[in-house]
Amino acid sequence: MAQTDSIRTIAGIGPKKAALFAKLGIETLGDLLHFYPRDYEDRTRITPIASLEVDQPACFIASVVTTPQTHRIPKPGQKTLEVTKFAVADHTGRLNLTFFNAAYSAGKLERGETYCFYGALTGDYLGYAMTNPLFEPLDAAGTITRRIMPIYPLTAGLNNKAIMQAVAAALARCTPTETLPEALRENYGLCDAATALQEIHRPSSIEALEEARRRLIFEEFYIFSAALAIVRAKRSVRAVQPFQTEGMEEFYRALPFRLTNAQMRVIEEILADFRSGKPMSRLVQGDVGSGKTMVAAAAAFCAAKNRKQTALMAPTEILAKQHFDRLAPLMEPLGVRCALLTGSMTPQQKLTRRKELAEGVYDLIIGTHALLTESTTFQNLGFVIADEQHRFGVSQRAALLSKGEQPHLLIMSATPIPRTLALILYGDLDVSVIDELPPGRQKVDTFLVDERYRKRLNGFIRKQAEEQHQTFIVCPAIEESETDSLKSAEQWAQTLRDYVFPDLRVALLHGKMKGAEKEQIMSAFAAHEYDILVSTTVIEVGVDVPNATLMIVENADRFGLSQLHQLRGRIGRGEAKSYCILVSDNPSKETRARLKALCATNDGFRIAEEDLNLRGPGDFFGSRQHGLPAFRIGNLAQNMTVLAQAQEAAKQTVASGALPDRLEEAVNALLQNGEFSLN
């Protein structure tokens, strides 16, 4: 049986069940094998009856000491309720068991026989009892007792048992592919694939489970790292025409300010790559407002002087347009011809733009990622800049390889992740850091408040407006929901308009609006046609409104620290003192500590580390906004050691040039399947 066989080949899985499995992303036997439990329940310990604790499920071995009696209680209009009762005992005590609607199975229990039970005690000082425990004969192989039970992620209609059975069938029927060479497994003390999968689903002991887990985590990181190493190796092996990098002064002189030392250093690093004759693959990390755009512009200027076209890709249309509006007036006088290409242009406009691009009319083309994916052809594309790396994952990085000539690649990220981690995760990239803000930048004062401050908060918004300044209000949801009490942008904007600030100009912006509409509102806000902008996190990236001096984040506990930091980066961009106010009624100590951390510092890297420490890797890495790959079993924060080992091993494997077939398949699948495209 092959791992690629459909799960329909398992007896008992028909079209209906298969559809449920599909909801969990399971279509083949291989998918089942790699559908790992999210947790385990250790039922290996046998507890004497006298030591059972209320509400603590446990296994115990006991004999049936009274004959099971079943009573049927008719219920008008409902199914008859069956109640089966009897007592069990071990050498430490006696316990009354009650089964509801389980007369058939409970009836199988025979007086005088010994069974293993699993259940939770209920009761108080008046007496203890237990309802509907699981049980099986003592001489049967433990399938639900005396073992470590896997707990799977579920979906409505599929219970844990159904998944366990399907997994068992898959384990019995196919031999898993071994992607790790034997020598490597020996080197790092890793068990083989078959053992690992067997133990991860049906652990024979806690130790064996840990071994299995380590092996699978290693494998996952190893394949990921191998993919990065391959992309890197493929890129650096190609030679490109070295760029001339003289004459940059012309660009520097055209700027209205002096670049910071950090900006200059990073530009130098880029220019050195340009001169090297190898395609650059560089990640520039810099906090919001550190001036990444100018670094990119300097590099694009150099490319243009070398008669190469540059494509600058922004994550949103608004941002692309803003880049264009800022860069064109600077670059055009320097002879760098700029153009904008976005999805909201008319088909005719796009057609014309593309034609011009192919003819080489422009040196710098700015747009969204559609620039590369759509059928844009360039006359002489030599340089690709991706603003905000999280939309530009490994698979997109790899896809660039196929773009005929080998363009230099610069990825700009405002997501500060701890540097050691960056080096591992972006193993195919060199990393530069802009660790300095332009002079005179205001620190944004940040406060945490709760609902009791609402009145003062409103007064503060009014004060900004009276001083001709503007306010951003960020809400976690777009629309009102019945299930939670989150502030919704639509509702809140309406309330503010109708009741709180009927005399002020309140705008609404959210992600469900059409691109053109969003753009129109954003430009109107930037032009001070509104005093207040109520929005969702769509304003998170890039947008520049120097006149905005106040940002209020509602239900602030709903956001990650790094995300809040990004939001805060939208203000403090002008002359006037700026404030960020986090509103949260969440009383949890950790939550308050987390939000306080943001009040205490403006340093994005420290905040990222704090986020990681406080929220734990699940939340920090779980949210895709960080642009980090989602691993099935590996955990970037908890498994750093394994990650480092796997990366080392992958580098060696790739450097040796002999990629095992199976590994190559796995790497290719990873590069193609978009799971790591991080969108």
Examine residue 259 and tell whether it contacts ligand ADP (CB under 6 A).
yes
Nearest to 91 by CA among 145, 153, 46, 156: 46
Within 536-575, which residues bind ligand ADP (CB under 6 A)? 544
Q: Which is nearer to ligand ADP, 203 or 367 (CB)?
A: 367
Choose between 191 and 259: whose C-beta lies nearer to ligand ADP.
Answer: 259
Nearer to ligand ADP, 544 or 619 (CB): 544
Task: Work out how close the CB of 367 gets to ligand ADP at its nearest, in angstroms, rounded to a whole number.
Answer: 17
| Torsion angles phi and psi, residue 367, rounded to 5 | -170, -165
Cβ–Cβ < 8 Å for 413, 283:
yes
What angle do helix axes 292-305 and 317-331 make, rounded to 10 degrees?
60
How many angstroms separate the Cα of 517 from the Cα of each of 508, 511, 626? 10, 10, 27
Exactly one of 23, 51, 92, 257 binds ligand ADP (CB under 6 A); that residue is 257
- Note whether 294 binds ligand ADP by CB under 6 A: yes
Among the residue ranges 288-296, 398-406, 522-530, 654-662, the one whose residues contact ligand ADP (CB under 6 A) = 288-296
User: How many chain residues touch ligand ADP (CB under 6 A)?
Assistant: 16
Helix (H, G, I), strand (E, B) or coil at 677: coil
Query: Are 610 and 579 within 8 A, CB to CB?
Result: no
Mask for 94-133, x = binds ligand ADP (CB under 6 A): ----------------------------------------
Cβ–Cβ under 8 Å, residues 186 and 83: no
Contact with ligand ADP (CB under 6 A) among 30, 133, 291, 604: 291
Minimum distance, C-beta of residue 571 to ligand ADP, in the bound complex (Å): 12
Of 604 and 634, which has the nearer Cβ to ligand ADP? 604
Give the shortest CB-532-to-ligand ADP separation in angstroms.
23
C-beta of 446 vs 555, nearer to ligand ADP: 446
493 binds ligand ADP (CB under 6 A): no
Part in contact with ligand ADP (CB under 6 A); list of ranges 73-81, 284-292, 493-501, 648-656: 284-292
The neighbour count for residue 317, using CB atoms within 10 Å, is: 20
Closest distance of CB 204 from ligand ADP, Å: 53
* Interacting positions 509-538 with ligand ADP (CB under 6 A): none
Contact between 393 and ligand ADP by CB under 6 A: the answer reads no
| Closest separation in Å from C-beta 368 to ligand ADP | 16
Burial class (CB in 10 A: 0-12, 13-18, 19+), 40: middle
Query: Quick one: 153 or 438, whose CB is closer to ligand ADP?
Result: 438
- The answer to whether 261 contacts ligand ADP (rule: CB under 6 A) is no
Length of the chain: 679
Q: How many CB atoms lie within 10 A of CB 325?
A: 13
Which part of the chain contacts ligand ADP (CB under 6 A), choosing from 282-290, 402-410, 529-537, 580-588?
282-290
Residue in 288, 298, 409, 650 binding ligand ADP, rule: CB under 6 A: 288
Q: How many CB atoms lie within 10 A of CB 397?
A: 26
Q: Minimum CB separation from ligand ADP for residue 268, in Å?
A: 15
Q: What are residue 341's DSSP bridge partners?
A: 367
Smallest distance, ligand ADP to C-beta of residue 496, A: 29
Q: Where are the alpha helices (DSSP H) in 178-260?
A: 182-188, 193-201, 206-237, 249-254
Stretch that binds ligand ADP, among 271-279, 287-295, 304-312, 620-628 (CB under 6 A): 287-295
- CA–CA separation, 307 and 668 (whole Å): 34
Amino acid identity at 242: P
Least distance CB 351 / ligand ADP (angstroms):
31
**CB nearer ligand ADP, residue 37 or residue 416:** 416
The single residue among 292, 350, 510, 594 that binds ligand ADP, judged by CB under 6 A, is 292
Nearest-approach distance from CB 189 to ligand ADP, in angstroms: 44
CB atoms within 10 A of CB 231: 24
- Footprint of ligand ADP on 421-450 (CB under 6 A): 438
The residue of the chain with the least Cβ separation from ligand ADP equals 291
Smallest separation (angstroms) from ligand ADP to the CB of 422: 16
Kindly give the interhelix angle for 589-600 and 604-622, rounded to the nearest 10 degrees: 150
Instruction: Please report how close the Cβ of residue 477 comes to ligand ADP at its closest, in angstroms.
Output: 26
Q: Is 439 exposed, middle or buried (0-12, 13-18, 19+ CB in 10 A)?
A: exposed
Stretch that binds ligand ADP, among 37-45, 254-262, 358-366, 482-490 (CB under 6 A): 254-262
- Token pair for 490: 């639509």
Closest contact distance (angstroms) between CB of 263 and ligand ADP is: 6
CB 36 within 8 A of CB 200: yes
List 286, 315, 407, 572, residue binding ligand ADP (CB under 6 A): 286
Stretch that binds ligand ADP, among 34-42, 56-64, 233-241, 291-299 (CB under 6 A): 291-299
Given the rule CB under 6 A, which of 150-158, 193-201, 211-219, 251-259 is the region that contacts ligand ADP? 251-259
Minimum distance of ligand ADP from residue 439's CB (angstroms): 7
CA distance 190 to 199: 13
Q: Which is nearer to ligand ADP, 263 or 488 (CB)?
A: 263
Cβ 306 to ligand ADP, closest distance in Å? Answer: 23
Radius of gyration in angstroms for the set of CA atoms belonging to the chain, rounded to a whole number = 31
If the CB atoms of residues 438 and 515 are measured against ligand ADP, the closer one turns out to be 438
Strands (E), 388-462: 408-413, 430-434, 445-449
DSSP state of 121: B
Helical segments of 467-556, H only: 489-495, 515-526
Cβ neighbors of 91 (< 8 A, separation 6 or more) are 48
By the 8 A CB rule, do 302 and 248 touch? yes
Give the strands of the sheet with 309-314, arranged side by side. 338-341, 364-368, 309-314, 381-387, 408-413, 281-286, 430-434
410 lines the binding site for ligand ADP (CB under 6 A): no
- Nearest residue (CB) to ligand ADP, 33 versus 298: 298
Q: Which helix (H) or strand (E) holds 143?
A: none
Phi, psi (5° rounding) for residue 288? -55, 135
Q: Up-side HSE of residue 296: CA atoms within 13 Å toward CB?
A: 31
Q: From the centroid of its chain, how far is CA 336?
A: 37
Contact between 366 and ligand ADP (CB under 6 A)? no
Binds ligand ADP by CB under 6 A, chosen from 28, 245, 281, 293: 293
User: How many alpha carbons fall within 13 Å on the CB side of residue 409?
Assistant: 28
Q: Per rule CB under 6 A, is residue 414 in the interface with ligand ADP? A: yes
Decide: residue 387, CB within 10 A, 0-12 exposed, 13-18 middle, 19+ buried.
Answer: buried
Tokens of 661: 């077939």
- Interface residue with ligand ADP among 198, 245, 281, 290 (CB under 6 A) is 290
Distance between first and last Cα of the chain: 34
Q: Which residues bind ligand ADP (CB under 6 A)?
A: 257-260, 263, 286, 288-294, 414, 438, 544
